[in-house]
Amino acid sequence: MSILAPSAATSAPPADDLAARYRSVRALTLALAEPLSDADATVQSMPDASPAKWHLAHTSWFFETFVLRDHVPGYALHDPRFPFLFNSYYEAEGKRHARHRRGMITRPTLDEVRAYRAHVDAALLAALPALPADARDLVALGCHHEEQHQELFVTDILHLFSESPLEPALYAPEPKEPVAMPGPVGWITGRTGIVRVGHDGRGFAFDCEGPRHDALLHPHAIADRTVTNSEWMRFIADGGYRDSRHWLSDGWAWVTGEGIAAPLYWEAGDGGWTRFGLDGRRPVDPAAPVTHVSFYEADAFATWAGVRLPTEIEWEAAAAAHDASGGHQMDRAGAVEPRPAPQGPAFFGNVWEWTGSAYRPYPGFHPVAGAVGEYNGKFMNGQFVLRGGSCATPRGHARASYRNFFYPHQRWQFTGVRLAKDL
């Protein structure tokens, strides 16, 4: 999930509205980090993940660099050493600390990073009323960027805590009402012929969501819900992870080489399957959507089931009529875990849904100028598109045209599966 530039259609929001949004976004990030010790916030569990402290600082570096430094005359950096530590991928911003060594940054401390955030917040809110429109666009982009990092923050901390033999709970479990197993998958007949897809220009979008363009759809149907844990258990019991016929070649090499036999965080015990979450280790809910599965696993399950994954165009055409603010998404700090969805069409929340589409540019796509344009075309290689948002996605962040993307082996995000088939 990368920083991408705003679309050309983005218009600068009013300063008062933007200030309220900025405060809200920044407050949620701090709330997510509130239970962490300095050690919790410093350690890095794998190269794909970043320490919580780094997320807190990097999102502040974004605002300090692209708004305060570049658009506020006389602004002095809080600490001239921080750009080297907290730049992510921006080649145009010069040398930076190696990503896989972010867990070695013991200083600044967590409290010093919080002080850095407070400094940036005070400076940006003071400058906001006088900022030109292009700078306000960057503030809006920075808020969406921080929401991306809020989701990464949650999933990175989950992975970190899963590495501890103690399997500590970060948040108290949420109360849950018993939910009946969903009925059989229903199939929605998809649109056919020429359809218009991509962001329509209303509101914010990342540039990879456009340009809006025509695409051709052949007769197909798409499932009205995602695959459940119970259905995934049947795949496991049927030898799904041991039968090469279901797997792509690279996927089979990954499964056998890594010894993969179940979704990430699952364990089999005398009492059945359990999973690890931010609320500790709990029994797997058979009615909830399966999550923490890779593209390879999603594709193998679809093959085992005799169907396939939807294309991202099929998914967007089906989801466009549904409320993107609905479903189980993140409204506050606390334990996050997919919940059983109501029967019937539900396209947003719970789990990001793998599609069979490679993450490539749309026809007519061109990177925007400047450093913030780095994170578009150069990532459009070797990754697959996911749609729909998850239980860790801040509500209001996703939309039908939103294109998330990860490498096919990655599964530490809340990733799941919706099926499709040809008609």
Give pLDDT tens digits for 62-113: 999 999 999 999 999 999 999 999 999 888 889 999 999 999 999 999 999 9
Which range has highest mean pLDDT (2-6, 231-235, 374-378)? Answer: 231-235
pLDDT at 374: 63
Mean pLDDT of 235-259: 98
More confident residue, 2 or 107: 107
Residue 221 pLDDT grade (very low, low, confident, very high; cuts 50, 70, 90): very high
pLDDT tens, residue by residue, 127-180: 999 999 999 999 999 999 999 999 999 999 999 999 999 999 999 887 777 777
pLDDT at 10: 47
Residue with tokens 């500790």: 280
The separation between the first and the last C-alpha atoms of the chain, rounded to the nearest angstrom, is: 33
pLDDT tens, residue by residue, 19-34: 999 999 999 999 999 9
Contact 174, 408 (CB under 8 A): no
Check whether domain 15-162 has CATH 1.20.58, yes or no: no
Asked if the model's pLDDT at residue 303 lies above 80, the reply is: yes
Sheet holding 420-422, edge to edge: 187-189, 220-223, 420-422
404-407: long-range contacts, CB 8 A cutoff, minimum separation 24: 404/1, 404/352, 405/1, 405/2, 405/359, 405/379, 406/1, 406/295, 407/295, 407/382, 407/383
Contact 60, 139 (CB under 8 A): no
Asked if the model's pLDDT at residue 319 lies above 90, the reply is: yes
pLDDT at 376: 65
Determine the residue type at 203: G
Asked if the model's pLDDT at residue 224 lies above 90, the reply is: yes
Asked if the model's pLDDT at residue 346 lies above 90, the reply is: no
Asked if the model's pLDDT at residue 1 lies above 50, the reply is: no
Alpha-carbon span 206 to 212, nearest angstrom: 12
CA dihedral (101, 106, 108, 112) in degrees, to 10, reads 120
Asked if the model's pLDDT at residue 229 lies above 80, the reply is: yes
pLDDT tens, residue by residue, 36-71: 999 999 999 999 999 999 999 999 999 999 999 999
Report the mean per-residue pLDDT for the chain.
93
Domain ranges of the chain: 15-162, 187-422
Contact 121, 25 (CB under 8 A): no
Side-chain-side CA neighbours of residue 279 (13 Å): 16
359 Cβ neighbours under 8 A, 6+ residues apart:
208, 379, 380, 381, 383, 384, 385, 403, 405
Mean pLDDT of 233-260: 98
The closest alpha carbon to 15, from 121, 188, 139, belongs to 139
Fold of 187-422: paralog of FGE (formylglycine-generating enzyme) (3.90.1580)
More confident residue, 61 or 10: 61
DSSP state of 127: H
Q: Which two tokens stand for residue 262?
A: 């179940």
Mean pLDDT of 287-302: 97
Predicted structure pTM score:
0.94
pLDDT at 12: 65
pLDDT at 11: 57
On the question of a cis peptide bond just before residue 108, with omega within 30 degrees of 0, the verdict is yes
pLDDT at 2: 35
